[in-house]
């Protein structure tokens, strides 16, 4: 038997998801009233790809062959119920320093000043685990008390051993991170079924 939540989640993700705005700076960010969930992580970790898989669209969020593609905050409205926000990545060494500094500032400003932000999905490459730049974002989210959940991406490229080890390492940090959701999710935009239902249900719980 389906639960009421999963029925709603199934309905929600069968609805249209549309691009509503792209903000290159915090001043131009629209004041939406919908609850928001944001996808954050290092450059190239798979944020835009995951949004496409979640919404079952090929190119709603732009995915690039060279990292550093998402350069602004992109807002996508799902059924006028919840906003999905695709953020630029941090830590892309090859982009001009000034640009990287600008994206980092934008990410931090957004995370600190968005009252409608209900959940941050912090994406981490399942082959590499947490980097210092991820831990900085985690510290910020603890400080501003924005709830965040770690998603290990690109599971098609890693082993079960990698995933188990990284999950264990992250769990061991839980006492230091008061705003971290205890459950770690695992996804792949190649094996599209992995972890997607759980993320759908999480997002639906905010809609
Ligand atoms: N093998 C594999 N490749 C993936 C997966 N997800 C994304 N990729 C690839 O990784 C690259 C970056 O993906 P994006 O979705 O653009 O990553 P992003 O985090 O949005 O990158 P930025 O916008 O630059 O921060 C692309 O070449 C994707 O095809 C995955 O689950 N498995
Ligand atoms: Mg992107």
End-to-end CA distance of the chain: 22
- Which numbered atom of ligand 1 lies nearest the CA of 64? 16
E strand or H helix that includes residue 6: helix 4-12
Strand 36-41 relative to strand 82-86, pairing = parallel
* 108 vs 94: CA distance, rounded Å: 20
Task: State which residues have CB under 5 angstroms from ligand 2, the bound ion.
Answer: 47-48, 70
Q: pLDDT tens digits for 117-162?
A: 999 999 999 999 999 999 999 999 999 999 999 999 999 999 999 9
3-state secondary structure of 32: coil
CA angle 101, 105, 106 (to 5 degrees): 120
The predicted pLDDT at position 64 comes to: 54
Ligand 1 centroid to 63 CA: how many Å? 6
Ligand 1 centroid to 189 CA: how many Å? 8
pTM of the model: 0.94
- Check if the beta carbon of residue 108 is closer than 8 Å to that of residue 133: no
Protein residues whose CB sits closer than 6 Å to any atom of ligand 1: 41, 43-49, 63-65, 67-70, 88-89, 153-154, 156-157, 188-190
């Amino acid at each position: 038997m389906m639960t009421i939540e999963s029925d709603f989640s199934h309905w929600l993700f069968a609805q249209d998801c549309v691009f509503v705005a792209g903000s290159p700076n915090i001043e131009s960010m629209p004041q939406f009233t919908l609850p928001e969930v944001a996808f954050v992580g290092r450059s190239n970790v798979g944020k835009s790809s995951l949004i496409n898989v979640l919404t079952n669209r090929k190119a709603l969020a732009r995915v690039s062959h060279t990292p550093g593609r998402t350069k602004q905050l992109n807002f996508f409205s799902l059924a006028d119920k919840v906003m999905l926000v695709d953020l630029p990545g941090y830590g892309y060494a090859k982009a001009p320093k000034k640009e990287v500094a600008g994206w980092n500032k934008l990410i931090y400003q957004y995370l600190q000043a968005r009252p409608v932000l209900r959940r941050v999905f912090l994406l981490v490459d399942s082959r590499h685990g947490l980097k210092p730049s991820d831990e900085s974002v985690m510290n910020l989210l603890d400080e501003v008390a924005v709830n965040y959940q770690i998603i290990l991406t690109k599971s098609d490229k890693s082993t079960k051993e990698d995933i188990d080890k990284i999950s264990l390492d992250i769990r061991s940090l839980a006492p230091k991170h008061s705003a971290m959701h205890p459950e770690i999710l695992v996804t792949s935009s190649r094996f599209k079924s992995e972890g997607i239902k759980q993320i759908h249900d999480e997002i639906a719980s905010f809609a």
